[in-house]
Structure 1
Amino acid sequence: MSDTVAPRPSNWNLPNALTLLRIVLVPFFIWAFVADGGDYGPLRWIAVVLFVVAIYTDKLDGDIARARGLITSFGKIADPIADKLLIGSALILLSAVGELWWWVTIVMLVREIGITLLRFVVIRYGVMAASKGGKLKTVLQTVAIFVYLLPVTPALPWLSLVALIVMLVALAVTVVTGVDYIVKAWQLRSAGRNPGRV
Protein backbone atom coordinates (compact mmCIF):
# COMPACT_ATOMS: atom_id res chain seq x y z
CA MET A 1 0.00 0.00 0.00
CA SER A 2 1.54 3.31 -1.06
CA ASP A 3 1.44 6.48 1.02
CA THR A 4 2.22 8.61 -2.01
CA VAL A 5 -0.09 11.61 -2.28
CA ALA A 6 -1.18 12.50 -5.79
CA PRO A 7 0.21 15.91 -6.80
CA ARG A 8 -2.25 18.75 -7.07
CA PRO A 9 -2.91 19.87 -10.65
CA SER A 10 -1.23 23.12 -11.63
CA ASN A 11 -3.35 26.23 -12.01
CA TRP A 12 -1.68 26.64 -15.41
CA ASN A 13 -3.93 24.30 -17.33
CA LEU A 14 -6.37 24.34 -20.25
CA PRO A 15 -9.63 24.54 -18.24
CA ASN A 16 -8.38 27.58 -16.31
CA ALA A 17 -7.16 29.16 -19.55
CA LEU A 18 -10.66 28.74 -20.99
CA THR A 19 -12.13 30.32 -17.86
CA LEU A 20 -9.80 33.31 -18.25
CA LEU A 21 -10.75 33.51 -21.94
CA ARG A 22 -14.40 33.74 -20.90
CA ILE A 23 -13.59 36.63 -18.59
CA VAL A 24 -11.61 38.37 -21.35
CA LEU A 25 -14.54 37.96 -23.78
CA VAL A 26 -16.95 39.82 -21.49
CA PRO A 27 -15.72 43.39 -22.26
CA PHE A 28 -15.71 42.60 -25.99
CA PHE A 29 -19.27 41.31 -25.70
CA ILE A 30 -20.29 44.51 -23.88
CA TRP A 31 -18.54 46.67 -26.49
CA ALA A 32 -20.25 44.94 -29.43
CA PHE A 33 -23.69 45.25 -27.78
CA VAL A 34 -23.24 48.92 -26.86
CA ALA A 35 -21.59 49.88 -30.16
CA ASP A 36 -24.56 48.42 -32.05
CA GLY A 37 -26.66 51.21 -30.55
CA GLY A 38 -29.92 49.33 -30.86
CA ASP A 39 -29.66 49.01 -34.65
CA TYR A 40 -29.79 45.19 -34.53
CA GLY A 41 -27.02 45.10 -37.13
CA PRO A 42 -23.72 43.22 -37.58
CA LEU A 43 -22.35 44.32 -34.20
CA ARG A 44 -25.37 42.83 -32.43
CA TRP A 45 -24.65 39.54 -34.22
CA ILE A 46 -21.04 39.78 -33.07
CA ALA A 47 -22.32 40.19 -29.49
CA VAL A 48 -24.43 37.05 -29.96
CA VAL A 49 -21.44 35.07 -31.28
CA LEU A 50 -19.22 36.23 -28.41
CA PHE A 51 -21.91 35.24 -25.91
CA VAL A 52 -22.25 31.77 -27.47
CA VAL A 53 -18.47 31.24 -27.57
CA ALA A 54 -18.15 32.32 -23.94
CA ILE A 55 -20.97 30.00 -22.86
CA TYR A 56 -19.41 27.11 -24.76
CA THR A 57 -16.08 27.62 -22.99
CA ASP A 58 -17.99 27.23 -19.72
CA LYS A 59 -19.14 23.73 -20.71
CA LEU A 60 -15.82 22.84 -22.31
CA ASP A 61 -13.60 23.82 -19.38
CA GLY A 62 -15.76 21.83 -16.96
CA ASP A 63 -15.73 18.74 -19.17
CA ILE A 64 -11.95 18.88 -19.61
CA ALA A 65 -11.27 19.54 -15.93
CA ARG A 66 -13.34 16.54 -14.83
CA ALA A 67 -12.06 14.21 -17.56
CA ARG A 68 -8.37 15.00 -16.95
CA GLY A 69 -8.46 15.54 -13.21
CA LEU A 70 -7.56 19.22 -13.56
CA ILE A 71 -9.97 20.64 -10.99
CA THR A 72 -8.17 23.38 -9.03
CA SER A 73 -9.05 25.81 -6.25
CA PHE A 74 -8.49 28.66 -8.70
CA GLY A 75 -10.94 27.10 -11.13
CA LYS A 76 -13.58 26.62 -8.43
CA ILE A 77 -13.41 30.35 -7.67
CA ALA A 78 -12.79 31.81 -11.12
CA ASP A 79 -15.36 29.71 -13.02
CA PRO A 80 -18.50 30.96 -11.22
CA ILE A 81 -17.11 34.52 -11.26
CA ALA A 82 -16.69 34.30 -15.04
CA ASP A 83 -20.25 32.97 -15.38
CA LYS A 84 -21.73 35.74 -13.27
CA LEU A 85 -19.77 38.43 -15.13
CA LEU A 86 -21.12 37.20 -18.46
CA ILE A 87 -24.73 36.54 -17.39
CA GLY A 88 -24.86 39.66 -15.22
CA SER A 89 -23.52 41.98 -17.93
CA ALA A 90 -25.98 40.54 -20.48
CA LEU A 91 -28.95 41.07 -18.14
CA ILE A 92 -27.89 44.63 -17.33
CA LEU A 93 -27.37 45.51 -20.99
CA LEU A 94 -30.77 44.11 -22.00
CA SER A 95 -32.46 46.11 -19.23
CA ALA A 96 -30.47 49.26 -20.06
CA VAL A 97 -31.87 49.28 -23.62
CA GLY A 98 -35.40 48.48 -22.46
CA GLU A 99 -35.57 44.91 -23.76
CA LEU A 100 -35.90 43.32 -20.31
CA TRP A 101 -37.63 44.58 -17.18
CA TRP A 102 -35.16 45.96 -14.64
CA TRP A 103 -36.87 44.16 -11.76
CA VAL A 104 -36.11 40.79 -13.39
CA THR A 105 -32.43 41.71 -13.71
CA ILE A 106 -32.28 43.01 -10.14
CA VAL A 107 -33.89 39.88 -8.65
CA MET A 108 -31.50 37.63 -10.57
CA LEU A 109 -28.41 39.67 -9.68
CA VAL A 110 -29.36 39.87 -5.99
CA ARG A 111 -29.80 36.09 -5.93
CA GLU A 112 -26.48 35.42 -7.73
CA ILE A 113 -24.43 37.83 -5.62
CA GLY A 114 -26.18 36.78 -2.42
CA ILE A 115 -25.61 33.04 -2.91
CA THR A 116 -21.98 33.65 -3.90
CA LEU A 117 -21.38 35.60 -0.69
CA LEU A 118 -23.26 32.93 1.29
CA ARG A 119 -20.92 30.26 -0.09
CA PHE A 120 -17.93 32.19 1.25
CA VAL A 121 -19.62 32.66 4.64
CA VAL A 122 -20.23 28.93 5.17
CA ILE A 123 -17.08 27.64 3.48
CA ARG A 124 -15.52 26.97 6.91
CA TYR A 125 -18.27 24.40 7.49
CA GLY A 126 -18.20 22.84 4.04
CA VAL A 127 -18.64 23.47 0.34
CA MET A 128 -22.09 24.04 -1.13
CA ALA A 129 -21.92 22.22 -4.44
CA ALA A 130 -24.06 23.33 -7.36
CA SER A 131 -27.40 21.55 -7.28
CA LYS A 132 -29.31 20.17 -10.27
CA GLY A 133 -31.72 23.05 -9.84
CA GLY A 134 -28.84 25.51 -9.91
CA LYS A 135 -27.55 23.99 -13.13
CA LEU A 136 -31.05 24.11 -14.65
CA LYS A 137 -31.25 27.77 -13.65
CA THR A 138 -28.04 28.52 -15.53
CA VAL A 139 -29.26 26.71 -18.65
CA LEU A 140 -32.58 28.55 -18.62
CA GLN A 141 -30.92 31.92 -18.08
CA THR A 142 -28.50 31.23 -20.92
CA VAL A 143 -31.23 30.19 -23.36
CA ALA A 144 -33.42 33.17 -22.45
CA ILE A 145 -30.56 35.66 -22.84
CA PHE A 146 -29.52 34.09 -26.15
CA VAL A 147 -33.03 34.51 -27.60
CA TYR A 148 -33.25 38.10 -26.29
CA LEU A 149 -29.88 38.91 -27.85
CA LEU A 150 -30.84 37.71 -31.33
CA PRO A 151 -31.31 40.77 -33.59
CA VAL A 152 -34.41 39.18 -35.16
CA THR A 153 -36.29 38.70 -31.86
CA PRO A 154 -37.88 42.20 -31.61
CA ALA A 155 -39.31 41.81 -35.13
CA LEU A 156 -40.89 38.43 -34.43
CA PRO A 157 -43.68 38.55 -31.80
CA TRP A 158 -43.69 34.76 -31.32
CA LEU A 159 -39.93 34.73 -30.66
CA SER A 160 -40.25 37.64 -28.25
CA LEU A 161 -42.93 35.64 -26.42
CA VAL A 162 -40.62 32.59 -26.26
CA ALA A 163 -37.84 34.77 -24.83
CA LEU A 164 -40.20 36.20 -22.20
CA ILE A 165 -41.60 32.81 -21.15
CA VAL A 166 -38.17 31.20 -20.84
CA MET A 167 -36.89 34.20 -18.89
CA LEU A 168 -39.83 34.08 -16.46
CA VAL A 169 -39.32 30.34 -15.95
CA ALA A 170 -35.61 31.04 -15.37
CA LEU A 171 -36.58 33.71 -12.85
CA ALA A 172 -38.84 31.30 -10.95
CA VAL A 173 -36.13 28.62 -10.84
CA THR A 174 -33.60 31.28 -9.81
CA VAL A 175 -35.70 32.30 -6.80
CA VAL A 176 -36.62 28.73 -5.77
CA THR A 177 -33.03 27.48 -5.96
CA GLY A 178 -31.88 30.59 -4.11
CA VAL A 179 -34.15 29.72 -1.19
CA ASP A 180 -32.96 26.10 -1.38
CA TYR A 181 -29.31 27.21 -1.12
CA ILE A 182 -30.14 29.37 1.90
CA VAL A 183 -31.71 26.35 3.63
CA LYS A 184 -28.70 24.18 2.76
CA ALA A 185 -26.31 26.85 4.04
CA TRP A 186 -28.21 27.01 7.34
CA GLN A 187 -28.11 23.22 7.68
CA LEU A 188 -24.40 23.15 6.83
CA ARG A 189 -23.67 25.85 9.39
CA SER A 190 -25.76 24.14 12.07
CA ALA A 191 -24.08 20.79 11.46
CA GLY A 192 -20.65 22.41 11.57
CA ARG A 193 -21.34 24.23 14.85
CA ASN A 194 -22.96 21.14 16.40
CA PRO A 195 -20.97 18.17 15.01
CA GLY A 196 -22.37 15.79 17.62
CA ARG A 197 -25.95 16.26 16.49
CA VAL A 198 -27.50 13.79 14.05
Structure 2
Amino acid sequence: MVRLALVPVFAWLLFAGGTGARLAALVVFCVASATDWVDGELARRRDLVTDFGKIADPIADKALTGSALIGLSALGELWWWVTAVVLVREIGITLLRFVVIRYGVIPASKGGKLKTMLQVIAITLFIVPGPLDPLRWAVMGAALIVTVVTGLDYLVRAWRLRREAVR
Protein backbone atom coordinates (compact mmCIF):
# COMPACT_ATOMS: atom_id res chain seq x y z
CA MET A 1 0.00 0.00 0.00
CA VAL A 2 2.94 2.33 0.68
CA ARG A 3 4.10 1.82 -2.88
CA LEU A 4 0.70 2.88 -4.22
CA ALA A 5 0.64 5.94 -1.94
CA LEU A 6 4.06 7.05 -3.22
CA VAL A 7 3.04 6.95 -6.91
CA PRO A 8 1.38 10.41 -7.01
CA VAL A 9 4.21 11.92 -4.95
CA PHE A 10 6.73 10.50 -7.42
CA ALA A 11 4.78 11.72 -10.45
CA TRP A 12 4.42 15.22 -9.02
CA LEU A 13 8.16 15.45 -8.31
CA LEU A 14 9.05 14.08 -11.75
CA PHE A 15 7.07 16.86 -13.43
CA ALA A 16 8.04 19.60 -10.96
CA GLY A 17 11.20 20.46 -12.88
CA GLY A 18 14.65 21.30 -11.64
CA THR A 19 17.48 19.13 -10.42
CA GLY A 20 16.31 19.10 -6.81
CA ALA A 21 12.83 17.85 -7.71
CA ARG A 22 14.34 15.31 -10.08
CA LEU A 23 16.61 13.95 -7.35
CA ALA A 24 13.67 13.86 -4.94
CA ALA A 25 11.66 11.94 -7.56
CA LEU A 26 14.58 9.53 -7.82
CA VAL A 27 14.60 8.98 -4.04
CA VAL A 28 10.83 8.44 -3.91
CA PHE A 29 11.00 6.01 -6.85
CA CYS A 30 13.83 4.06 -5.18
CA VAL A 31 12.02 3.95 -1.82
CA ALA A 32 8.79 2.84 -3.49
CA SER A 33 10.68 0.19 -5.46
CA ALA A 34 12.42 -1.02 -2.30
CA THR A 35 9.04 -1.61 -0.65
CA ASP A 36 8.50 -4.38 -3.21
CA TRP A 37 11.57 -6.23 -1.98
CA VAL A 38 10.81 -5.56 1.71
CA ASP A 39 7.21 -6.71 1.28
CA GLY A 40 8.31 -9.91 -0.45
CA GLU A 41 10.94 -10.67 2.18
CA LEU A 42 8.53 -10.15 5.06
CA ALA A 43 5.86 -12.27 3.40
CA ARG A 44 8.29 -15.15 2.79
CA ARG A 45 9.95 -15.01 6.21
CA ARG A 46 6.62 -14.95 8.03
CA ASP A 47 4.91 -17.30 5.60
CA LEU A 48 2.33 -14.64 4.79
CA VAL A 49 2.10 -15.24 1.04
CA THR A 50 -1.55 -14.60 0.21
CA ASP A 51 -3.68 -14.58 -2.90
CA PHE A 52 -4.37 -10.89 -2.19
CA GLY A 53 -0.64 -10.19 -2.12
CA LYS A 54 -0.10 -12.12 -5.34
CA ILE A 55 -2.62 -9.81 -7.01
CA ALA A 56 -1.98 -6.51 -5.18
CA ASP A 57 1.81 -6.63 -5.53
CA PRO A 58 1.82 -6.68 -9.35
CA ILE A 59 -0.79 -3.90 -9.44
CA ALA A 60 1.41 -1.72 -7.23
CA ASP A 61 4.39 -2.52 -9.48
CA LYS A 62 2.40 -1.55 -12.57
CA ALA A 63 1.21 1.71 -11.01
CA LEU A 64 4.75 2.75 -10.11
CA THR A 65 6.49 1.69 -13.31
CA GLY A 66 3.57 2.84 -15.46
CA SER A 67 3.58 6.33 -13.97
CA ALA A 68 7.35 6.52 -14.42
CA LEU A 69 7.27 5.37 -18.04
CA ILE A 70 4.38 7.67 -18.95
CA GLY A 71 6.05 10.56 -17.15
CA LEU A 72 9.40 10.00 -18.86
CA SER A 73 7.70 9.74 -22.25
CA ALA A 74 5.62 12.87 -21.61
CA LEU A 75 8.84 14.70 -20.75
CA GLY A 76 10.35 13.54 -24.06
CA GLU A 77 13.02 11.39 -22.42
CA LEU A 78 11.72 7.97 -23.42
CA TRP A 79 10.19 6.95 -26.72
CA TRP A 80 6.41 6.46 -26.47
CA TRP A 81 6.57 3.14 -28.30
CA VAL A 82 8.74 1.71 -25.49
CA THR A 83 6.17 2.87 -22.93
CA ALA A 84 3.35 1.43 -25.07
CA VAL A 85 4.98 -2.01 -25.39
CA VAL A 86 5.63 -2.24 -21.66
CA LEU A 87 2.18 -0.97 -20.66
CA VAL A 88 0.32 -3.22 -23.11
CA ARG A 89 2.19 -6.22 -21.68
CA GLU A 90 1.71 -5.14 -18.07
CA ILE A 91 -1.99 -4.31 -18.36
CA GLY A 92 -2.65 -7.35 -20.54
CA ILE A 93 -1.00 -9.78 -18.14
CA THR A 94 -2.71 -8.18 -15.12
CA LEU A 95 -6.09 -8.56 -16.83
CA LEU A 96 -5.19 -12.12 -17.83
CA ARG A 97 -4.43 -12.94 -14.19
CA PHE A 98 -7.90 -11.68 -13.21
CA VAL A 99 -9.56 -13.68 -15.98
CA VAL A 100 -7.93 -16.97 -14.96
CA ILE A 101 -8.14 -16.40 -11.19
CA ARG A 102 -11.20 -18.71 -11.04
CA TYR A 103 -8.85 -21.53 -12.14
CA GLY A 104 -6.00 -20.55 -9.84
CA VAL A 105 -3.43 -17.83 -9.22
CA ILE A 106 -0.46 -17.38 -11.53
CA PRO A 107 2.35 -16.33 -9.18
CA ALA A 108 5.22 -14.17 -10.34
CA SER A 109 7.88 -16.18 -12.13
CA LYS A 110 11.63 -15.70 -11.81
CA GLY A 111 11.51 -14.14 -15.27
CA GLY A 112 8.80 -11.77 -14.08
CA LYS A 113 10.96 -10.77 -11.14
CA LEU A 114 13.92 -10.22 -13.47
CA LYS A 115 11.66 -8.12 -15.70
CA THR A 116 10.62 -5.96 -12.76
CA MET A 117 14.23 -5.55 -11.60
CA LEU A 118 15.42 -4.55 -15.10
CA GLN A 119 12.53 -2.12 -15.52
CA VAL A 120 13.28 -0.51 -12.14
CA ILE A 121 16.99 -0.19 -12.94
CA ALA A 122 16.27 1.22 -16.42
CA ILE A 123 13.72 3.71 -15.09
CA THR A 124 16.12 4.72 -12.31
CA LEU A 125 18.81 5.42 -14.91
CA PHE A 126 16.34 7.56 -16.89
CA ILE A 127 15.37 9.53 -13.78
CA VAL A 128 18.98 10.23 -12.78
CA PRO A 129 20.06 13.58 -14.19
CA GLY A 130 23.15 13.47 -16.36
CA PRO A 131 24.64 11.92 -19.49
CA LEU A 132 23.98 8.20 -19.10
CA ASP A 133 22.28 7.57 -22.44
CA PRO A 134 24.16 4.46 -23.67
CA LEU A 135 23.71 2.72 -20.32
CA ARG A 136 20.07 3.86 -20.04
CA TRP A 137 19.18 2.48 -23.44
CA ALA A 138 21.10 -0.78 -22.99
CA VAL A 139 19.30 -1.59 -19.74
CA MET A 140 15.94 -0.44 -21.14
CA GLY A 141 16.53 -2.66 -24.20
CA ALA A 142 17.19 -5.65 -21.96
CA ALA A 143 14.11 -4.80 -19.88
CA LEU A 144 12.00 -4.55 -23.04
CA ILE A 145 13.15 -7.97 -24.30
CA VAL A 146 12.51 -9.65 -20.94
CA THR A 147 9.14 -7.86 -20.70
CA VAL A 148 7.97 -9.33 -24.01
CA VAL A 149 9.38 -12.82 -23.39
CA THR A 150 7.85 -13.08 -19.91
CA GLY A 151 4.56 -11.79 -21.27
CA LEU A 152 4.49 -14.69 -23.71
CA ASP A 153 5.42 -17.05 -20.85
CA TYR A 154 2.45 -15.82 -18.80
CA LEU A 155 0.14 -16.43 -21.75
CA VAL A 156 1.34 -20.03 -21.97
CA ARG A 157 1.05 -20.51 -18.19
CA ALA A 158 -2.50 -19.10 -18.17
CA TRP A 159 -3.52 -21.37 -21.04
CA ARG A 160 -2.09 -24.40 -19.21
CA LEU A 161 -3.76 -23.40 -15.94
CA ARG A 162 -7.14 -23.08 -17.63
CA ARG A 163 -6.68 -26.31 -19.58
CA GLU A 164 -5.76 -28.27 -16.44
CA ALA A 165 -8.65 -26.77 -14.45
CA VAL A 166 -11.18 -27.66 -17.14
CA ARG A 167 -10.03 -31.30 -17.05
TM-score by length of 1: 0.81
Q: What is the RMSD computed on CA atoms of the aligned residues?
A: 1.1
What letter matches 1:110 in structure 2? Answer: V
Question: Which one of the candidate residues 110, 113, 119 is aligned to 1:135?
Answer: 113
Q: What is the count of residue pairs matched by the alignment?
A: 167
1:145-164 per-residue CA deviation (whole Å, 9 max, x = no partner) reads 00000012xxx2xx211000
SS in 1 for 2:156: helix
CA displacement at 1:111 relative to structure 2 = 0.3
Residue equivalent to 2:22: 44
CA contact (8 A) 2:13 2:21 kept: yes
Whether 1:24 and 2:5 are equivalent positions in the alignment is yes
Question: Partner of 2:102: helix, strand, or coil?
Answer: coil
Give structure 1 stretches of 5+ with no counterpart.
1-19
- 1:63 is aligned to 41
Q: Distance between the aligned counterparts of 1:73 and 1:179, measured in 2?
A: 22
**Cα gap change, 1:76/1:28 in structure 2, threshold over 3 Å: closer, same or farther?**
same
What is the distance in 2 between the residues matched to 1:77 and 1:129? 8
Aligned to 2:157: 184
From 16, 30, 41, the equivalent of 1:35 is 16
Deviation at 1:124, TM superposition (A): 1.5
Match of 1:9 in 2: none
State the 4+ residue runs in structure 1 displaced beyond 6 angstroms: none
2:69 paired with 1:91: yes
- Identity across matched positions, percent: 61
Deviation at 1:53, TM superposition (A): 0.4
CA distance in 1, matches of 2:11, 2:125: 17
Structure 2 residue 142 is the aligned partner of structure 1 residue 169: yes
In the alignment, the residues of structure 2 paired with residue 184 and residue 70 of structure 1 have an alpha-carbon distance, to the nearest angstrom, of 24
Q: Note if 1:77 corresponds to 2:50.
A: no
* In 2: Cα distance, 1:131 partner to 1:78 partner: 15
Amino acid at match of 1:191: E
1:76 offset after TM fit, Å? 2.6
Looking at secondary structure, tell me which structure has more helix per residue: 2
| Cα distance in 1, alignment partners of residues 129 and 80 from structure 2 | 20
Provide the rounded CA distance (Å) in 2 between the counterparts of 1:122 and 1:35.
Answer: 40
